[in-house]
Structure 1
C-alpha cells in the first residue's frame, strides 16, 4: 500500500508529460544504474550523497525521488529535501516497480551530452513552424525539462552544433531528422522509446501537418492553422516556442484523454 510519502508508478505515469509533473530525480547507485542505464521519462541523475550540491536546482519544485527499489536511498534523499523545505516524495517500489508496470524508459545512450549546468542543448533552423516546435515540446515534457533550444540560420546549424556541443535536429544530414515519410517528431518518439498510443496518435497529427499530408488525421489541418498563426503572432522564436508548448500540451491531453468526447451546442428547443 502506498504511504503518504510515496507515489505509485501508475499515478506518476499519469503525470509524466504534463506541465504539473514534479521534478524526477534518479538517485540510483552507479552500480545499479550501469546495470540498466535507462531513465524514467523526464528524470535526471543526481548523486544520493551530495544532495547539498544540487539542492538549489530543485528548490521551489515538487520532487519525486527514484532509486532501484524505493527504499533507503530514495527515502533518505527525500527526507533531506523535506528538511530543506522541498516538497519531496518517493516512487513506490523504485524503478523496478516502474519497469514491472511496463511503463517507458529512455536509454541514456540516446541523450546528447549535457552542458556544465546539466542541460541538453539542441539547435535547429530559425523561424520554427511545426516539427521544430513539436520536438522541443516532446523533449521538455519527456526527456529534459531544462533543455536549451537554439534557433539559427539554416546554413549555420551544423557548425553551431559543433562549436557549442549541441544536438542538431530537423535539418538534412543529421541523426535527429526526417526519415523516409516520418518527420523528426516521429523519430524522437521512436528513438526515445516513447511509443505510447497517445504519442503515436499525436505523431500522426504532427506528420500530417508538417509534411502537407492533411488527410493523415482530421486534426492535422487544425494543428497546421494554429502553428502558422503562432508564427505570425511572434517575431521571437523563443516566445513562439513558449506559446507552442501550451498548444502541444492541449493536443497531448486530447490525444490521451478526450478522443471519444464529442461537443455540440445544447439546444433547448422543444421538438414536436
Structure 2
C-alpha cells in the first residue's frame, strides 16, 4: 500500500521550477549515489543518518519537504518521519530517484555543480548592474539547481579576484577561461540549460526568448522584445542588484509558466483553449 505521506513523480515534476516548490532532500547512500551521480532538479544532498543535525534548517525554513532515496523505501521513509516529528510537512517521493529516472525526467549531473560553502550553498559571482542573462541564470539556478545559491554582483574588473578569494564560480564573463559564459551564438542561459541537463521543452522555449533579448536578436522569438523591455525597466527601478534579482525572479517565474502552460492561450473572449503540457 502506498504511503499516505508520499508524492508521485508526476505531481512533483509539475511543482519543480515554481516558487512554491517544496524543499527537495536527497538522502541516497554514498554508494548508491556513486552509481548514479545525478540529482532531481533543485534537490540537495543530505546524509540520512545525520538528520538530527541538519533537520532544524528545514524546520526554520517553514517549507514542506520531499525526501528521496534510491527506491523510496526505508531511508526516505525514516528521514521524512523524523522531519515530521520536528514539525516539517515531509513527504517521500514514490519510487525514489529510480522512479524519477524511469519517467525520463531531467536530472542534474553532480559533476557540473560548483563546490559548496560551509553551509552547503553554491556561490556565484558576476558583473554588477545585471540586465538579462545575469538575472536569467540566477533564476535558473535557484529554481532548478540550488535553491539556496548565493549571488555576488561586483565591479567587472574585480569578478575574477572575488571568485578566487571567496571560492565563487564566475558566470557571464567574456573571458576564455570562464566556463559559464557565452559560447558562439549561445548565451550563458543556453549553456546552463544544456550542461545542467535541463533541456525540457519549456526551458528550451524560454532559452530562445532569453537568447533573443540578451544578444540583440529579437527575431529569434516574438517574446524577446518584451523580455528586454521588462529587464531594462527593472534595471532602472532598482539601484540594488539583489533587490533587482528578487524582482526579476517573479518576472522569469511568469515567463516560465507561460512557456510551460500558456503558449496556446490567447487573450480574447471567450478565451481560447489552453494546450496542456
TM-score (norm: length of structure 2)? 0.95
- The yes-or-no answer on 1:195 pairing with 2:194 is no
Q: Paired residue for 1:270?
A: none
Secondary structure at the residue paired with 2:259? Answer: helix
Tell me how far apart the structure 1 counterparts of residues 76 and 154 of structure 2 sit (CA, whole Å).
41
Q: Is 1:79 the counterpart of 2:85 in the alignment?
A: no
What residue ranges of structure 1 are gaps of 5+ in the alignment? 267-272
CA deviation map 1:184-222 (0-9, x unaligned): 000000000000000000000000000000010010000
Aligned to 1:99: 101
Partner of 1:181: 185
Structure-to-structure mapping, 1:58-69, within 5 angstroms: 58-59=58-59, 60-69=62-71
Q: Partner of 2:48: helix, strand, or coil?
A: coil
What is the aligned-residue RMSD (CA, Å)?
Answer: 0.9
**DSSP-derived class of the 1:4 partner:** coil
1:139 paired residue among 134, 138, 141: 141
- Give the 3-state SS of the residue equivalent to 1:119 in structure 2: coil
Distance (whole Å) between structure 2 residues aligned to residue 208 and residue 172 of structure 1: 18
Asked if the contact 1:25/1:46 (under 8 Å) is kept, the reply is yes
Query: 1:27 is matched with which residue?
Result: 27
1-side partners of 2:8 and 2:25: how far apart? 15
Per-residue CA deviations over 1:35-74 (Å, capped at 9, x if unaligned) read 1111000000001111111112111210000000000000
Q: In 1, distance between residues paired with 2:67 and 2:153? A: 33
Contact 1:17 1:142 in 2 (8 A): yes
In structure 1, how many angstroms separate the alpha carbons of the residues matched to 2:218 and 2:28?
A: 45
Distance across 2 between alignment mates of 1:3 and 1:65: 13
Map of 2:49 onto structure 1: 49
Q: TM-score, normalised by structure 1?
A: 0.96
- The aligned counterpart of 2:153 is 151
Aligned to 2:267: 263
Shift of 1:103: 0.3
Offset, 1:265: 6.0
Residues 2, 8 of structure 1: 8 Å contact kept: no
The total of aligned residue pairs comes to 266
> Larger Rg: 1 or 2?
1
Matches within 5 A, 1:230-249: 230-249=234-253
Query: Unaligned stretches of 5+ in structure 2?
Result: 271-277
